[in-house]
Amino acid sequence: MGHYLGVGNTVSFVSPRVIQAFLWPVHNIFLAIWILFILTCTYLGSALMLSQTLLFGAKRTNTPLGRVFLEEVNPSARAVESLCEQHQTIGVRLTGLALMPLMMLCDFSNSVVGKAGILSGSVFFVVAGLCTWWYWICVIPWLAACAVGVAIGSGWCFGLIELSGN
């Protein structure tokens, strides 16, 4: 990556600082996409576990409905809420914004559990998941791809700024 400057001296074409400036936004977005992937898979897995338990019963699946709400649904809502806090980076905040429907769905399902029982809340959670399949399967990956494009574009700008400073 260097070119010859005479008398045995070579200079690096691109310094590591330029590469780091380029890769920093991409790195941040990939971390945010990883969070997005984990929480989306948690949501889809919770909906699947709840539907299996509703269809086959808790004894057969060894998964009580209350435990799924306690260990999966409620922590997912709190995780999305923490993604939107002020101290988070912009990529993580945007991830929280994209997952805001998950938080609303979890909170509303939990409210239904409190008012009408665990069975009603579980049915609502599964039916809402079926009604919003397009968001989790189509929109979320599209948003992730757009975020990577923006990160590469901004990384390119940051790299050029760092390159001009050298």
3-state class (DSSP) for residue 33:
helix
Cite the DSSP H helix spans in the chain: 16-56, 58-61, 65-68, 74-83, 90-98, 100-116, 118-131, 133-134, 140-165
pLDDT tens digits for range 47-106:
999 999 999 999 999 999 999 999 999 999 999 999 999 999 889 999 999 999 999 999
Q: Can you give the three-state secondary structure of 55-80, one letter per residue?
A: HHCHHHHCCCHHHHHHHHHHHHHHHH
Backbone angles phi, psi at 4, to 5 degrees: -75, 130
Per-residue CA distances from 27 to 119, 127, 136, 146, 148 (Å): 42, 36, 23, 15, 10
pLDDT tens digits for range 49-64:
999 999 999 999 999 9
